[in-house]
Every structure is written in C-alpha cells, then in structure tokens.
Amino acid sequence: MAPPREEPAGAPRPAKGALTPRQQDFPRWYQEVVARAELADNGPVRGTMVIRPWGFAIWERLQAALDGRIKAAGAENAYFPLFIPESFLRLEAEHVEGFSPELAVVTHGGGKQLEEPVVVRPTSETVINSYFAKWVQSHRDLPLLINQWANVVRWELRPRLFLRTTEFLWQEGHTAHATEADARAYALRILRDVYVDTMERVAGIPVVTGHKTARERFAGATRTWTCEGMMGDGKALQMGTSHELGQNFARVFGIQYADEQGVLQYAWQTSWGVSTRLIGALVMAHGDDAGLRLPPDLAPVEVVVLLVRDEGGARAAATQLVDELVAAGHRVRLDDRVDTSFGRRSVDWELKGVPARVEVGPRDLAEGIVTVVTRHDRSKSSVPVGGATVAVSEALAATGAALYDEAAATLARRTTDVVDPSQAAEAAAGGFVRVPWAALGTDGEAALAAQAVSVRCLQTADGSLADADTPEEDLVAVVARAY
Amino acid sequence: MAPPREEPAGAPRPAKGALTPRQQDFPRWYQEVVARAELADNGPVRGTMVIRPWGFAIWERLQAALDGRIKAAGAENAYFPLFIPESFLRLEAEHVEGFSPELAVVTHGGGKQLEEPVVVRPTSETVINSYFAKWVQSHRDLPLLINQWANVVRWELRPRLFLRTTEFLWQEGHTAHATEADARAYALRILRDVYVDTMERVAGIPVVTGHKTARERFAGATRTWTCEGMMGDGKALQMGTSHELGQNFARVFGIQYADEQGVLQYAWQTSWGVSTRLIGALVMAHGDDAGLRLPPDLAPVEVVVLLVRDEGGARAAATQLVDELVAAGHRVRLDDRVDTSFGRRSVDWELKGVPARVEVGPRDLAEGIVTVVTRHDRSKSSVPVGGATVAVSEALAATGAALYDEAAATLARRTTDVVDPSQAAEAAAGGFVRVPWAALGTDGEAALAAQAVSVRCLQTADGSLADADTPEEDLVAVVARAY
C-alpha cells in the first residue's frame, strides 16, 4: 500500500502558485483547495481519508447544527456496533444486492479465523432493526426514534476526498412508526426541519428537493426523499436523503407491535442520513478561485486579526482588537507570524475561507485606521480602529445571506426547463434541467444514464414535493450530471 | 453467531424482582444495572455492545466535559482512518507484540481479496504518526497536539459491557514535542487537567494516580501514567492513561524537526486516552442496591417530575413545576405515565440514577405540598409547592459533592499499608494495598499476578507522582485486584 500521495499541506509549500482556476479544471481546483486549505489528506489505505483539524472543526459545527435539530425532532442518540454478521445483511434481498459489492469483510479476529465472517457496517439498518424487534412490543413503544453518529465503510473504486471515500463519518437515523402516514410524515419532517434547514440556513446552500426514481432509490426503501445541491460547475451533489422503508425491514426482522385492540401489526419505518460529504458541498458550492468561502456559522474562525508588522504599537492594537471581538461573541484568531510575509498569510486565510480579516499595521494605525476585508466579496474597507468590531460584526452578519443569495441566483440561472427529453442531455452540460417525467420515463432515464446524466429527483411542476396521491404524469424530473 | 442474549430491557419486563444485592454478587448486580437502567445491550457479534439512549446520553455529557478540557489544553480534534495497513503495525516491535493477539483483520474489500490485509485500528499511534512525519518539519511546527474521538477494536475473549468490549468508543490524543521535558509535562497536564479533573469534579470518582510498572506499561511507551478508581467491591478500574512514548515512534516513522540551529532532531511524543469504560466506572463506583446514582453533571435528566395520579389539579401543578425547573436551568422530564404504577415508575427512575425526583399527587397538593426525593441518600422531604424548585436546586448542588465524599471515604477506608509483600495478596481482598516497591519488586509483582492481584501504579510515599529523579527505592506500589 503506497503512502499518501498528496503534498503534505502543513509542510512548507513549494513555490506558491495560485489555485487552478475553476473554469479551467474544476476537479483539480477542488483537490487543490482541499489540500491547501488543510481540510483533508488521503489515508494510507486506498479511498480512506484523514480529516485535518480545519476540516474537522467545520464538521464539528455542522454536527452541532444537525444534532440540535435531530433532537428537536424527538430522536435520541445511541450507538450500535461497527461489525455486523454477514447473515444479517442477506435477510433483506434488495439491501444486500445494493451493498454487497462495497463491503469490507473481517475474516480474522483475535488471531483466529472467524466461524462467520463479519462485515464492517456500510449502513446500520440490519443491526439496528434486529434490536427494534426486541424493543418494540406495544403501540405505546412507538414512535421509536433513534439516531447515531458513526463511521461507515463502502469500498470505493473511484474515491474523491469527502465526496466518495471508503470510510466516511455520518449520522444515520432509524425510526419505527405505527402507520405508513406517520412514517412518511417523519421522513419529511427530517428532510425539511433538519436537512433543508441546516443546508440552507446554516450552510447557505439552496437545495432542490424531491423523491428518487426506482433506479436511484436506496436499496430496501419504498421512497427516497433527497436534497440536491448545485455545485460551482453546475453539477448536482446529493447532500442528504430520507427514506421511507415501508414494512420491508419490519417483516424481515419481525418488528411487530400490539395495536390498541391487541392485534399484532408490523411497524412502518424510516432511515435518513447525511455525511462528511457536506464538507465537499461547502467547498464546491461556495468556493471561488481564491479558495474556500465559509458561512460564519460553520467557520472554525470567523475573523482573523492579522498583525502586518510588529511596529508602532501595532501588536498592542491587534491584541486589544482580538479582545474586543471575543467580547462581542466572535471566534477570533490572532495571526502574529510576522516572519511570514503578509501576502502569503492573507492568501492562506482566504484559502481557508475565514469570513473576515482585519489587517492591523503601523502605517494605517498612524492614521487611526485598520483595514477590514470580507472574504465572500473580497471587499476591503478602511475603518477607524474604534469602529472595527462593529464593522466586523456587520460584515459577518451579511456574509451568510450573501453566500446563500449568490448560490440561489446561480441555481436559478443554471436551471432550464425543456419539454423534449432529447434536449435534456445537452442542456445538462450547463446545470440542472427540468423535464416532464411523463415525457422522459424510465427508458429516457436509462438513455440519459448512458450519457452520464441522471434523474436527481422527481417533484411537482412548482418544485414542491409530491403528495402521496400526486399522479405520476404531473411530476417533473430534475436531471443533471452529478458527483 | 447467536442473537443477543440479554433480556431486552425496553420490553415489558418479567415479574419485577429487586436487583441482586451488591454484597451477594457484585458482577451480577453490575450486569443487571446495565440492562435494567437501559444503558447497554450485547451486540450480535461476540464482545460488541449496543449503547442505548440512556447510556449514550451519559457518554455525550462525559465527552463534552473531556472535549472542553482537551481543547483548553491546546489540542485540536481531527479524524484518522479506521483501517491501518498491517505493515504499519509491524514497524514498532513492542507495539505489534502488544496488540497483534487482539486484532480484527479485513482480508476482503469491494468483493475482492486485498493485496495487503488491513487491520481495524486497535489504537492509532501508527497511522497518526505516519502523518506527523509529513506535518512536522521545523521546531516551529511543535508542539503538534492532536486528539480524535473514534471507535477502536480489540478482540475480547472475556467481554463485559463497558469494561471490556471488542469495540469501544474513546478519545485518543497524540502529540509531538521538541524535548523530553515538554512531552512529559504535556502527558502530566492531560493526566491532571483533563482526566483527574473530569473524573473527580465531574464524575465524582476520586482516583489514585501514578505510573505503571514495566509489566503493565502501554506497548511502545517509555512511561504510562494512570488514573485508578476504586469500584464498589474494592477492586481497581484503570480509568485513563497518559503515555510518554519517548522517541520510539518518532524513530520508526521518521518524525524529525529542524531545531533552531537547523539540526534535525527526533520529536518526543505522548499519547493518552479514555473510553466508554468510564460509564462502567460510574455504575460501579456510585451504584447502590437500588441501581445507578448519577452525578448531576452527567445525568441526562437531573430531575423527574412524577405525576402520581391525574386528579385534583395534579397535572397542572406538575406541568407548572416542570416549567419552573426548566427556567431554573435544569434538565427535566415529566413522567405522567399514570397507567403504570407509581411504585414501578419510582423504582425505574432510581435504577436509572436520576439525582432528584419530585412526586406530585392530589393528596399532597390538597395540603399545598409535594415530595422531593434525592437519589444519592434516598431521603424524602415534603416541601411547599412554591419552594420545590429551590429545594431541587439545592439537592442537586449537594449531590455531586456527596457522591465524591462518599467514594473518597470508601477509598480511604479500604486502602491499607503493608510492609511485608507476603501480606499484600490477602490484604487486596478488601481493597487497595500500598506496599514498598523496593520490598515487592518485579518478582513480587509476578507472584501477585499468579493470585490475580496486580500493581496498579507506583507513586511516592505521600501518594503523589514520581519526579523524573525520584529513586526507585522511594516508590510505593498500589496493588489490587482489578477489572
């Protein structure tokens, strides 16, 4: 197994070139941002990744935003084992068919060959539902709402950091309900109140929502609801899914409850998850040719105070400003590495996406001013020293909305409607394409797939989610190239 | 692989017996508390565990306490891969010898046999240090202070929930320093400011600290510092360790830095970890014959308001009290399951260790009072309805200190000093035994081991940590039976 191939981003870097422009080579730009912003590195085993402190701190903030919303939706956190007996996976036919090509299998433990090999969980429906069968007895035990934060493994042949990795971190929710309507309502509650809310309000990424076609559905689900974001190159990224599982797993694992009349009924279930892939979404949805642009809510550091030169009282002024910004409730870092050039440090903080930067130098200070730079529009303004904290607070307050608005405008601009499915593939070169599902159909979907274009979701004509009784012929397919 | 064997604690339980008294059978009592308090269940693969919501909520609070202290000590969180190439582990001779009997090995991935098998991490020294070698170049890169929260796997032949499980959750810190003195100071800072502080002030468990003998040292360390707690049966539980690794891993992985003179030097390192074993420590250090007793800081619910009967305005009074307690900053749950007997519900909340309970019933209310029950001493008092919130706040404030004081008194009472090593094994039947290390020695240690008694740590005569220059003959060995 070869050692990691990427340039170590923490080491002194070779002659500093600019990033590859996005227009020129978007995948290469992505790879460079991930490395130079010190988000992640390739692991020693193919397809695995090392999430570096800057990337992990973003993940911790995303986790906190999601976890609070998951708990507000009534789910409780728990933890189920990494190892699943191979036999468990075989119980649900579609499920094992979907996952078996991606499994990592442990054949030896404690120095001996195992009697039955165990798989490293690719997802936990099987192991969790084997416990639901024990815990659910009566209608009073429902709904049962469980979430876990965990690592999962799906062997990847074409790995890309954060987007497709052999091991990734995620949360997976698993629930059981008394009725199909309850299960559907909860799957949609998670989609809207947890996923869409976090993606749009916290990450500033507008998402297109709908349900998957049979071809794209989760292995074992009856309906998969999805959030699809548009990346900087117009491609789609599936950012989160919420599945209705019907009674498929309940029948296989025997999850039955006694209803109010004492009659045994199978439970209706959901599962739902988002992963470290969201970090990749942040990079690709907001990044520009200078690097990452972070929404303040997710930035490990909201504002960096950059000491230009350690002269003329600049250090004292910078330190005082840091104290003021901390007192104003911001996450602040002082960059006083004056032995590194001012230019290189500025470029580094732009690469890392820190939303605001205050440059404190002796020349400006002599005039009583400092320079405030906002990352999202790279605008600079000179403000009186005493007004810097207010200026930064205002800049941060405006950044989140500005990033969202910019992404929403791009999504609108790069989404086209076509009536004729034969135009869809070409139109998808530029972004998302909406085409009537009645005209496209499963044959049209297969034809698009041959051109690397997929149906991201089905929705109604006005872009909302289909109801249980929306006729198929009223649906619109959103098609795109996708990660 | 057999399905989990324990009684599902969430299901209606068989005829409710009291817990087995601790005096009668401590291991059985432990197993019953873990099951009935719904802390954990056995996983389907031998030795693995399901951490249920009540147990996981305790872990989340422990994590938060530890994580804040780890960050205050300057370490940053990151995430390294679950899978480690087998060859990495072989690089450090003692390390591989220590861990190879416990490894889980993945031989197949993505439907194919792997060219090189990968092991599921038993600990991450090897993979993390392979990256440190890339990230550390100059003395300016030091200290490098990294922590990760992760699952690890060590195949267990005699598993016991939380105490020894094939998979467990933990944090592992890994650091690199310029000098041996810096590394030692940091290992001790983690021991004192993170581990001892959390164990004593948050978990209320007094710990004995010292360093391990060569026999008990971590595989690959030059010195292992440890925190040992006394459980309710007088046995020791190793609750956390902080290792000095010398330059062992730095030499193997090539972690070198250019010092201020530009000369390449090997870094000095530490690693340190605590795990879900701490939940087992909480159960065994504080539990009584009625179940778990939780320190308020770690209790998922600090106070339960128990509606005795839904009559005479009791529900309204209970709801109002919940609101008042929430407004006072407490974590509160309303138990209004009046179709379950009052007695059974009381027993359940005692089992789960909730520190305070307020019983709100129509008869008491008619007299303007409610009953406040504190879990740690099972005392009951009648208080005016309007004074309940203050009474609960006071009871909670007193509980943490009371639990610590009780545990500290037990530790003092059950620790004896002996001069003659031949008396140590017998004395260890009752608790911890302090014996001069010069008299015991490695031969005496081996003789004790044959009687299932081990040296938990070495310390000075006054119980403090040895300095670098404390002579061996001044050390005292703390010996005990241990989990």
List pLDDT tens digits, range B201-219. Answer: 999 999 999 999 999 999 8
Answer whether residue A236 shows pLDDT above 50. Answer: yes
Q: Which of A105, A116, A252 to mutate to test the interface with B (most CBs of B within 10 A)?
A: A105
The encoded tokens of residue B237 equal 């539980």
CA-closest candidate to residue B274, choices B126, B182, B152: B152
Contacts of B43 in chain A (CB under 8 A): 80-81, 83, 127
CB contact under 8 A, A4 and B134: yes
Tell me which chain A residue has its CA closest to the CA of residue B88.
Answer: A44
With a pLDDT cut of 90, the percent of chain B lying above it is 91
In chain B, what are the domain boundaries? 26-286, 296-410, 417-480
Among the four given CATH numbers 3.40.50.2000, 3.40.228.10, 3.40.50.800, 3.30.1180.20, the one describing domain A301-397: 3.40.50.800
Is the Cβ–Cβ distance between B293 and B353 less than 8 Å?
Answer: yes
What average pLDDT score do residues A303-320 get? 96
Q: Which of B106, B157, B158, B166 to mutate to test the interface with A (most CBs of A within 10 A)?
A: B106
Angstroms from B441 CA to nearest CA on chain A: 32
**A415-480 maps to which CATH number?**
3.30.110
Q: Considering the domain B26-286, what is its CATH architecture?
A: 2-Layer Sandwich (3.30)
Angstroms from A298 CA to nearest CA on chain B: 15
pLDDT score, position B63: 98
Answer whether residue A166 shows pLDDT above 70. Answer: yes
List pLDDT tens digits, range B59-92. Answer: 999 999 999 999 999 999 999 999 999 999 888 7
What average pLDDT score do residues B27-33 get? 98
Q: Which of B38, B60, B79, B132 to mutate to test the interface with A (most CBs of A within 10 A)?
A: B79
| pTM tops 0.90, yes or no | yes
* CB contact set of A324 (below 8 Å; sequence gap of 6+): A388, A389
Query: Which SS3 state, helix, strand or coil, does residue B264 take?
Result: strand
Answer whether residue B14 shows pLDDT above 60. Answer: no
Write the residue in B52, B83, B100 that is nearest to A167 by C-beta.
B83
Contacts of A157 in chain B (CB under 8 A): 110
DSSP classification of residue B263: -
Contacts of B51 in chain A (CB under 8 A): 78-80
The encoded tokens of residue A291 equal 């690097």
pLDDT score, position B9: 43
What average pLDDT score do residues A137-166 get? 96
CB contact under 8 A, B45 and A110: no
What average pLDDT score do residues A340-351 get? 95
Answer whether residue B158 shows pLDDT above 60. Answer: yes
Q: How confident is the model at residue B6 (pLDDT cuts 50, 70, 90)?
A: very low
CB contact under 8 A, B1 and A60: no
Answer whether residue B10 shows pLDDT above 50. Answer: no
Under CATH, to which class is B296-410 assigned? alpha beta
Q: Which of A42, A56, A106 to mutate to test the interface with B (most CBs of B within 10 A)?
A: A106
CA distances from A75 to A70, A101, A138, B158, B186 (A): 6, 31, 19, 33, 39
pLDDT score, position A89: 87
Is the Cβ–Cβ distance between B288 and B169 less than 8 Å?
Answer: no
- Mean pLDDT for chain A? 94
Is the Cβ–Cβ distance between A139 and A260 less than 8 Å?
Answer: yes
End-to-end CA distance of chain A: 26
pLDDT score, position A173: 98
List pLDDT tens digits, range A2-36. Answer: 343 334 444 444 335 789 999 999 999 999 999 99
Contacts of A110 in chain B (CB under 8 A): 101-104, 155-157
What letters, b where the CB count within 10 A reaches 16 and e where it falls short, cover A390-411? ebbbebbeebbebbbebbeebb
Write the residue in A81, A138, A153 that is nearest to B167 by C-beta.
A81
Question: Could you tell me the strand order of the sheet in which B207-211 lies?
Answer: B76-77, B144-153, B167-177, B268-275, B236-246, B223-230, B207-211, B454-459, B476-480, B432-436, B415-417
Helix spans in A197-341 (H): 197, 248-253, 277-286, 314-327
Contacts of B257 in chain A (CB under 8 A): none
